[in-house]
Amino acid sequence: MDERIKRQMAFALEIDKAKNVFRQTHLSLNGRNENDAEHSWHMAIMAYLLREYANEEIDIVKVMLMCLIHDIVEIDAGDTYAYDAEGLKTQKAREDAAKERIFSILPKEQKAEFTALFDEFDAYETAESKFVHAIDNLQPLILNDSNNGGDWQEHDVTVEQVYKRQGKTKLGSVKLFEITDEIIQDNVRKGNLKE
């Protein structure tokens, strides 16, 4: 094997570790905790299905790839729960270190490509990154809704916290924020989210 494909194969094996990074979100209908690979796959399919609801014209291939790589850094950095105030303080530093180590496995230009894509996601400025964030917010929301708010209840999450996290969803998709709002209000009515 030449050096280039050796590096690509090493990266392919390294990202398999994402299957061992478990999130706080449970699979639908009270399943086990989902892992990062499942979350990213689910997001990529959802992005493709819901692309018509993006606020702006988007490059769907770029969006799907962004979905697939956005949590690779959690192999080293670990999953930071959306409502973990302490963990969020160090998240960027942990993820930046992980990004450097993991993407450095790749050949130089592919490292640059993946790093640029991850940084674009993180910066939250392009139509694609805003839409990916909208999907990243919606995916765990629909799972939590299917579990009668179990993850919110387990962590004493308030409706205010959920709206704060979901507030930027409308930057990527006004329509998906409308759906988000309906789901949140339904869970408040059911007593799954405390006010």
Whose tokens are 């592919």? That residue is: 110
HSE-CB of 123 using CA atoms within 13 angstroms: 10
pLDDT at residue number 34: 97
- For residue 112, pLDDT over 90 is answered with yes
CA nearest to 42, candidates 52, 32, 34: 34
- CA neighbor of 143 nearest in space, from 33, 34, 21, 27: 27
Q: Report pLDDT for 99.
A: 98
Is the pLDDT at 152 greater than 90, yes or no?
yes
Query: Which carries the bigger pLDDT value, residue 133 or residue 31?
Result: 133
pLDDT in tens, 1-38: 899 999 999 999 999 999 999 999 999 988 999 999 99
Question: According to the model, what pLDDT value does residue 1 have?
Answer: 87
Nearest to 94 by CA among 113, 75, 68: 75
CB 40 within 8 A of CB 71: yes
Question: How does pLDDT run across 63-93, given as a tens digit for each residue?
Answer: 999 999 999 999 999 999 888 889 999 999 9
> What is the structure's pLDDT at 92?
94
Average pLDDT over residues 28-54: 97
Predicted TM-score (pTM) of this structure? 0.96
